[in-house]
Amino acid sequence: MTIKFLWSKLLRKARGRTISGSHTHPTSKVESGSHVVDCYFGKYSFCGYDREIYSCDIGSFCSIANRVNIGSGMHPMGWVSMSPIFYGGRDSVKKKFSTHKRDAVLRFRIGHDVWIGDSAMFNQGVSVGTGAAIGIGSLVAGGVASYAFLAGSPAKTVRMRCDQDTVTRLLPSEWWVYPDDMLAAYAKYFSKPKEFLAKIDR
């Protein structure tokens, strides 16, 4: 590693982050440049740099890449105007002609062991099932099934991560709640789902 690389990395880390009204498990990590508001993070989950995540429940073992946007505010498209000048709250433009109340923010739910690729975006209120994967740059407008792989804008199911029998057996296994000593014992089987399932069935 060069001095220039290390200096650049240090500057990136030094920008800080905003975590407000949220619970993050001690084993989870939120990188710098990120804004996390009214969220819950399960154990061993992480999100990369420069993300905005609002009103979201995130399970354990989730991997959220850089520049992901979950829960940005939506403008009232059914009103005469969509401008924040006509609804309540603090905004970039200070002037207020009225302070009408917008609909409440819809909460997001992200299951366990979910991977979300770089620069993915989500409409309000989306639920993502356990084990799902979201491709880079995807725009997710609706619910995501467990163990599905989605990509595109709008995102569509490309394929399932594993066959239906494996999905049906993985979900009730709830391996994500195992204590660390059990995870350490079974970790050598994680690259082969069927072998892992055979071991825990014993």
Q: Quick one: pLDDT at residue 175?
A: 97
Q: Quick one: pLDDT at residue 60?
A: 98
Q: Quick one: pLDDT at residue 13?
A: 61
Q: Which helix (H) or strand (E) holds 168?
A: helix 164-173
Q: Quick one: pLDDT at residue 34?
A: 84
Residues 202 and 121 in one domain: no
Q: Is 88 a member of any domain? A: no
Q: Is 113 a member of any domain? A: yes
The yes-or-no verdict on residue 9 having pLDDT over 90 is no
When pLDDT is cut at 50, 70 and 90, the band that residue 4 belongs to is: low
Residues 114 and 181 in one domain: no
Q: Is 43 a member of any domain? A: yes
Q: Quick one: pLDDT at residue 109?
A: 94
Residues 70 and 170 in one domain: no
The yes-or-no verdict on residue 113 having pLDDT over 90 is yes
Please give the torsion angle defined by the CA atoms of residues 31, 117, 113 and 58, in that order, rounded to the nearest 10 degrees.
Answer: 60
Q: Quick one: pLDDT at residue 20?
A: 85
Q: Is 24 a member of any domain? A: yes
Lowest mean pLDDT among 5-9, 48-52, 76-80, 156-160: 5-9
Q: Quick one: pLDDT at residue 152?
A: 96
Q: Quick one: pLDDT at residue 94?
A: 86
Q: How far apart are CA 148 and CA 112, in angstroms?
A: 13
The yes-or-no verdict on residue 7 having pLDDT over 70 is no
Q: Which helix (H) or strand (E) holds 101?
A: none
Q: How far apart are CA 189 and CA 126, in angstroms?
A: 32
Q: Quick one: pLDDT at residue 104?
A: 82
Q: Quick one: pLDDT at residue 186?
A: 97
Residue 75 annotated to the active site: yes
Work out the mean pLDDT of the chain and round it to a whole number.
90
Residues 113 and 190 in one domain: no
Residues 154 and 179 in one domain: no
Q: Is 174 a member of any domain? A: yes
The yes-or-no verdict on residue 8 having pLDDT over 80 is no
Q: Give the active site residue among 23, 25, 35, 75.
A: 75
Q: Which domain holds residue 137?
A: 15-75+106-161
Residues 157 and 168 in one domain: no
Q: What's the structural domain count of the chain?
A: 2
Share of the chain above pLDDT 90, in %: 64
Residues 110 and 183 in one domain: no
Q: Is 52 a member of any domain? A: yes
Q: Is 192 a member of any domain? A: yes
Residues 26 and 57 in one domain: yes
Q: Is 85 a member of any domain? A: no
Residues 128 and 61 in one domain: yes
The yes-or-no verdict on residue 31 having pLDDT over 80 is yes
Residues 30 and 49 in one domain: yes
Residues 120 and 190 in one domain: no
The b-or-e profile of 22-52 (16+ CB within 10 A means b, else e) is bebeeebebbebbbbebbbbbbbbbbbbbbb
**Looking at residues 178-197, what average pLDDT do you find?**
96
When pLDDT is cut at 50, 70 and 90, the band that residue 5 belongs to is: low
Q: Residue 29: give its domain's CATH number.
A: 2.160.10.10
Residues 155 and 63 in one domain: yes
